[in-house]
Amino acid sequence: MANKNNPILTLASGSPRRLDILNQANITPDSVTSPEIDETPLKHERPDKLALRLSLSKAQKVFQEKSDSYVLAADTVVACGQQIMDKPKDAQEARNHLKKLSGRRHQVHGGICLIAPTGKILQRHCKTLIQFKPLSDTEIEDYLEAGEWEGKAGAYAIQGYAGSFIKYLSGSYTNVVGLSLYDTIKMLKSSGYL
């Protein structure tokens, strides 16, 4: 996709998956920077609100340095009910997450924030509903051993082997990977970038 008058796009994310998703639509950011922010949920913060707040914080932090560009940021929060299933600190926490998700439906909340060079802020929330098949202890242990869970919200990567655990999915697949392409394109168009 050609962008109008060559405006600059900065991706405020260290996720190679988000870059890959943008590349699917022939969008190549001019720069990529990974903002360091505190991702700790606030007391009683809902998963959807957390995803939106974190994407806004990331975009605002990068926009301070890149105010001449469009700054795109996203955050993904996995939740089972209202319980946030964050990135596991170790294999035991990943095991607990996978056991909790086994055979159950859960939600993946995506928060997307785009700040235009004018300072205008656009935000979107997208939710994808997923159901895992019941997982055996052997499947969980094999998955943990493969290491795919590391650094992943909910302790899994849908684009990897965990895709075989998915019995049901309703909503954006790319949201689960890390960035809803549908919503991102709409935002880039409405902001004047595309």
Domain-located, residue 133: yes
Looking at the DSSP bridge assignments, the partners of residue 11 are 32, 72
Euclidean distance between CA atoms 97 and 162, whole angstroms: 13
pLDDT of residue 19: 96
The two three-digit tokens of residue 157, written as one number: 């990567």
Q: What is the CA radius of gyration of the chain?
A: 17
Give me the mean pLDDT over the 6-16 stretch.
94
Domain-located, residue 4: no
Domain-located, residue 151: yes
Domain-located, residue 44: yes
Rama region for 147: left / alpha / beta (φ>0; ψ in -120 to 50; rest): left
pTM: 0.93
pLDDT in tens, 143-178: 999 999 999 999 999 999 999 999 999 999 999 999
Helices 181-190 and 16-24, axial angle in degrees (round to 10): 70
75 in active site: yes
58 by DSSP, 3-state: which?
helix
Task: Report the CATH number at residue 138.
Answer: 3.90.950.10
Looking at the DSSP bridge assignments, the partners of residue 77 are 109
Residue 84 · residue 41 · CB < 8 Å: yes
DSSP string, 96-135: HHHHHHTTSEEEEEEEEEEE-TT--EEEEEEEEEEEEPPP
pLDDT in tens, 39-94: 999 999 999 999 999 999 999 999 999 999 999 999 999 999 889 998 999 999 99
Domain-located, residue 175: yes
Number of domains in the chain: 1
| Burial class, 45, CB count within 10 angstroms (exposed 0-12 / middle 13-18 / buried 19+) | middle
pLDDT of residue 82: 86
Euclidean distance between CA atoms 5 and 39, whole angstroms: 35
Residue 42: domain span: 9-190
In the set 48, 75, 86, 183, the catalytic residue is 75
Domain-located, residue 3: no
pLDDT of residue 6: 80
